[in-house]
Structures are given as structure tokens and as C-alpha cells.
Amino acid sequence: MSIIRIEDIAHVRFRAPDLDAMETFLAEFGLVRAHCDDSRLFMRGLGTSPFLHATEKGEAGFAGLGLRAQSAGDLNKLAKALDAKVEALDAPGGGQVVRLTDPDGFAVDVVAGQAPVAALPAPPREALNDVRRHDRLNQVKRVAAGPAHVLRLGHCVLNVSNFRASEAWYKERFGFITSDELYAGTKENVLGAFMRCDRGAQPTDHHTLFLAGFGEAKFNHAAFEVADMDDLMAGNAWLASKERRHEWGVGRHVLGSQIFDYWRDPWGHTVEHWTDGDLLDAAWGSRSAAINELVGLQWGPPMPPTMGR
């Protein structure tokens, strides 16, 4: 039994020496300013979360991730079990936070009670024509040029130094369920796992957290859900037109099944656009998958050697 069961990822945090440059990139990526001052930048998506991406001014680097608890009561329960404090969250949306540190020193903010914001308009869902159905009749399709429309943060990937130690730490505190455990050679040689939230009968993303035990502990990437494939492709063209650094894509993963497109921010942090991922409930259970399923694709270009480095 875990101490609590978190319901989703809340945000990722970074440091950067130039907040204006970070905001310009993130706006081109499809995020919207929630708040900015001399030392902090908060960016939101089109959904109701008050922010998804936070940057504090300083030496460039990954500063941590946030997980959303189901209630303030769960925060109190977590704090009591771990001899931690419940503090006010000084960020858009307010609320409360318990600040923890995982086995590799990654900061983990567990938040609750944030005030939702009004959703911003997303592109309308248009009918599709394919060989099975012709639903768009007497209606031409025109995809507007511009950034993708980020709705929400979907997952974070961390490279960890000891997978089993990190897996136990996150599962014991937050109730994660393994969706796919990765092995190389034999099933006993486990390298990492895609883990999802335990929300019972309510489906959730195939993975909210992926722990990759590939050696050095470091941030790998954060993934943001966009409206649909047309939106992802429009975002790809927009970022390319701004001469941003493309990392990998467009393709469709095997594990998680999502269509993906990876980019680097001005300081080299990898951020992903994705759409059409798997949704699983708790009863779906867990699987084992060989490492070639991680690097393999259903379609798309091969993984570059720079990915995750």
C-alpha cells in the first residue's frame, strides 16, 4: 500500500539565465504566459491547470517536477508519514505543497488545492475523410500556421542511477502502477519502467513517469499533449520556421503508442509534443517489454544517439 495515490503530473521546473528567451521559445512551443516577474516565469497550457512549466532565473538546469495529490488531506497524510511540512505554494493557482527529494536528489513537489483557471480555446475537432468513412463533406480543410496548442503536461522521464531504489521510492509514496517494465537480454535484467497513476476504473495515460536506469541521474524529457496530429504537425513546421533545434520525430512509439515530436529548448532540455497515446485503467495490469520496444517505432525516423543526453 502506498501512502497516497497521486492523480497526475502537475508541472516541471527549470532554471535558466534568460527568462525572456525561455518565454519566447515556450510560446513558439505552444505554451501561454501565466505569470512572470524578475526571477520567475510560469507558463500554462489551454487546460485548467494554472501552470505546467516554471522557470526560475539562474544557472541553466532541471529544477524538479510536481505531482498532483487528490486532496489537501492527502498532503497532510504524506507529510505526517514522511515527517515533512505542508507549505503554501507560492505560484499561480496557490494551493499547498509538500517538498520531497528522491533518491537521486531530484526535487519532487506534491501539490493540492490549486485554483483552476479558465480553459483557453483549442482548435475545433474537424471531421475526417479516410477509406473507411467520409465525414467531411462540402468542407475544405485548412490548418492555420502557428504554434501547436498545448493542452496539458502528460509525463516526465528521469534517468536514474538505481532503478529499483527509485521505483520503490515513487511507488511507496504515490501509488504508481507499472505499465511496461523494460529489460535487456533476460527479464531479470530490468532497466526501467513506464509507470502510470492508479486511478482505479478511471483511465489514465500509459505513463506519467518513466524511470530509466541507464546510469547517470539526469533529466531526460518532459512531454506535453497537443490537440491532435494536425496540430502536432503544424507545431513542427512552426518551430522549424523559428530555427529551433529538432531532436526526434515525427513518429509513433511502440510503448505508449503516442505520436511524438521532440525539441530542445535554448539550454538543451528536451520537450516533447505528443498526441493519441494509450489510456489504461488500473485493471489493465502490467507487462514486460524488451529494450528494442523502447527504441523501436511503429513508424518514423530512428532514435538519434543524442536522445536523453
In order along its 309 residues, the chain shows pLDDT tens digits of 899 999 999 999 999 999 999 999 999 999 999 999 999 999 999 999 999 999 999 999 999 999 999 999 999 999 999 999 999 999 999 999 999 999 999 999 999 999 999 999 999 988 999 999 999 999 999 999 999 999 999 999 999 999 999 999 999 999 999 999 999 999 999 999 999 999 999 999 999 999 999 889 999 999 999 999 999 999 999 999 999 999 999 999 999 999 999 999 999 999 999 999 999 999 999 999 999 998 889 999 999 988 877
Q: How far is the C-alpha of 280 from the C-alpha of 203, rounded, in Å?
A: 5
Separation of alpha carbons 299 and 276, rounded Å: 14
Q: Flag whether 308 is in a domain.
A: no
Q: What is the pLDDT of residue 70?
A: 96
Q: Which long-range contacts (CB under 8 A, 24 or more apart) does 172-175 make?
A: 172/2, 172/3, 173/2, 173/3, 173/4, 173/78, 173/82, 173/100, 174/2, 174/3, 174/4, 174/5, 174/6, 174/67, 174/110, 175/2, 175/4, 175/5, 175/6
189 located within any domain: yes
CA distance 254 to 234: 23
Based on the structure, what is the number of domains in the chain?
Answer: 1
Q: Which pLDDT does position 252 carry in this prediction?
A: 98
Domain coverage including residue 14:
8-116+149-299
Residue 96 lies in a domain: yes
Q: CATH code at 205?
A: 3.10.180.10
Closest to 91 measured CA to CA, from 55, 42, 46: 42
If one counts every other C-beta atom within 10 angstroms of the C-beta of residue 304, the result is: 12
Question: Before 250, cis peptide (omega within 30)?
Answer: yes
CA atoms lying within 13 Å on the CB side of residue 284: 23
Q: Which residue has the cell 507499472?
A: 178
CB-side neighbour CA atoms (13 Å) of 104? 25
In this structure, is residue 140 part of a structural domain? no
Rounded Cα–Cα distance for residues 224 and 237 (Å): 17
Q: Can you give the three-state secondary structure of the chain, one letter per residue?
A: CCCCCCCEEEEEEEEECCHHHHHHHHHHHCCEEEEECCCEEEEECCCCCCCCEEEEECCCEEEEEEEECCCHHHHHHHHHHHCCCEEECCCCCCCEEEEEECCCCCEEEEEECCCCCCCCCCCCCCCCECCCCECCCCCCCCCCCCCCCEEEEEEEEEECCCHHHHHHHHHHHHCCEEEEEEECCCCCCEEEEEEECCCCCCCEECCCEEEECCCCCEEEEEEEEECCHHHHHHHHHHHHHCCCEEEEEEEEECCCCCEEEEEECCCCCEEEEEECCCEECHHHCCEEEEHHHHHCEEECCCCCCCCCC
pTM above 0.95, yes or no: yes
- Asked, for residue 106, whether it belongs to a domain, the answer is yes
* Phi and psi at residue 24, to the nearest 5°: -60, -45
